[in-house]
A and B are shown apart, each in its own frame.
Chain A
Amino acid sequence: MKYSDPYLAGVALGLVLLGSFVFANRGLGASGAFAATATGTVAAVAPAYAEANPYFARYLARPGGPWREWLLVEIAGVAIGGFLSAALARRLTLKVERGRGVAVPARLATAFAGGGIMGAGAVLARGCTSGQALTGGALLSVGSWAFMLSAFAAGYLVAPAIRRSWQ
């Protein structure tokens, strides 16, 4: 089935964000869920080390601990919502999205590396496209708009170098 009209889907996404603002007094996020998962993992392996690290200590201090983090529950919802929406539209698939000239292992390696770099950027920027660009963008935060503009600027700088891999 065809995807929705992007403006319609965008307005729907905006209403979800607005609903989160009104009913949960906070916006959406994604990278925070990865931070909570990393914190929970580190704390399980080396509790004292996690407590002493300022980044992990912050997530350990949340009510209920890292595994009850609001954004982690929300991201579990994102996966469920994505699955249900794809199932309803008969878009469930088992494949690796890649350019024609790229082998599956190469695409998976690039995806993993890209994810790792994004993770570092999200730590430094205190959020990602969800928590900074969407949420902070709608609230007119200067830091969020600075993040959004620099992220797309870097994307447009890097993309031409790997253009071939998406043809």
Chain B
Amino acid sequence: MSTFLLPLVIGIAFGAALERAGLGDARKLTGQFYLRDLTVFKVMFSAIVTAMLGVFWLSYAGWIAPGALAMPETYLRPQIAGGLVFGAGFALAGLCPGTSCVAAASGRGDGLAVLLGLFAGVLASGMALPRFADFYDSDARGAWTLPSLFHLPPGLVVFAVVIVALAGFAAAERIERRA
């Protein structure tokens, strides 16, 4: 049952948090790209910092066992290329995959169109994958983390991300006041 109920409950909370933040609205979301409304940045980085600190302290306290969480594998060049393609589509669509579901569920037709486009894009790319499988699997770096990239202790990297986020929030507030 937990294989069904757990993801459903987590998803409901995820969708509610996105909706309450206003991220089901493409007009609000695209404000990020025109520096009118930096809600996307503020929500994303508060979420990343919160979860990052939680994982760090819960691991330290032994509540999260070492190795319990699978570190995503890095394929550096395909992920940079994928990010560039994704970002271009993101600016056009005005919604990302998760927020398009919230937009559609709250009655927005553009959310439904993004959702259908995503389905078509993933379907076509999956079908084309054998043609670019070499690139897709290239530049594999395994479970590579920022602490090992910078040769710094994890605690210091966590601290640095918090500082960068706080500086980013201060900058975001200043940018919004000017807009």
Contact = CB atoms under 8 A, between A and B. Distances in A.
Nearest to B121: A119
Interface string A117-138: 1111111111111111111111
A85 B50 CA distance: 22
B171 interface: no
A79 B99 CA distance: 9
Please tell me the size bucket of the interface on B: 35 or more
A15 B122 contact: no
Given A82-B18, A93-B106, A137-B48, A74 B114 contact: no
Contacts of B49: 14
B24 A21 contact: no
Interface in A68-106: 68, 70-71, 73-86, 89, 91-99, 104
Given A30-B96, A129-B96, A129-B97, A116 B107 contact: no
Given A14-B54, A74-B11, A130 B20 contact: no
Contacts of B145: 139-142
Contacts of A15: 50-51, 54
A73 B84 contact: no
A85 B16 CA distance: 5
Nearest to A35: B122
Given A34-B122, A139-B69, A152 B96 contact: no
A38 B126 contact: yes
Interface in B51-80: 51-52, 54-55, 58, 63-64, 68-76, 78-80
A10 B172 CA distance: 15
A14 B8 CA distance: 17
Contacts of B24: 82, 86
Contacts of B113: 107-109, 111-112, 115
Contacts of B136: 124
Contacts of B99: 129
B5 to A, nearest CB: 9
Interface string B86-121: 111111111111111111111111110111111111
Interface centre among A81, A92, A126, A137 (most CB of B within 10 A): A81
Contact of A140 (B79, B141, B157): B157
A13 B119 contact: no
A121 B10 contact: no
A79 B50 contact: no
Contact of B129 (A27, A55, A150): A55
B123 interface: yes
Contacts of B111: 111
